[in-house]
Amino acid sequence: MIIRAITGRIIHSLGAFKGSRPLYDSNDLLIVRGICRDRDFEKYNSIREYLEEKLKENGFEIVDNREDIEGFVERIDRILRGGDNSLYPDAFGFEKLKNSFEEMGCVCDYVIGRRGDITVGISMWYDRMKREPRFVEVVCCQG
């Protein structure tokens, strides 16, 4: 239940609550996608700087350690695949997501944060030319 409250607060702080939709919802993992409508976004120099600030506002420490991020992605994979991620391991999935959006002409970045036993990853992407809409995906995992 706590991951729903945390994810809701983060989505709300991004101005993305209206129209947001859960892509996956379980006791240990919640993935929600929405559109960032926060007008304060333009005050930041980069997506990363903006997302880091939003996680810090919500009481999270930023995770930059590659091993910790890979562990987070592995935990997500285990939950999504029901414990068997040997068929399609998605090591460092946030980086793959970023690269695929950049190849399509989007600006994309992500930030991972931790607070206690809760880890959150936020990705944001938008068209390089139009700069809108700014899509966000929040992945919140417990354990």
Q: What is the pLDDT of residues 75-104, one digit of tens each?
A: 998 888 875 544 444 544 788 888 888 899
Whose structure tokens read 């139009």?
A: 130
Strand arrangement, sheet containing 61-63: 21-25, 29-36, 134-142, 118-127, 106-115, 61-63
CA atoms within a 13 Å half-sphere pointing along the CA-CB vector of 93: 18
pTM of the model: 0.89
How much of the chain is helix, strand and coil, in % rounded to 5?
40, 30, 30
Average pLDDT for runs of 10 along the chain of length 143: 94 96 94 96 96 97 92 88 55 75 92 96 94 95 87
Coil, helix or strand for 66? helix
Task: Specify the pLDDT at position 88.
Answer: 46
Q: 112 lies in which domain range?
A: 2-142
Q: In the chain, how many domains are there?
A: 1
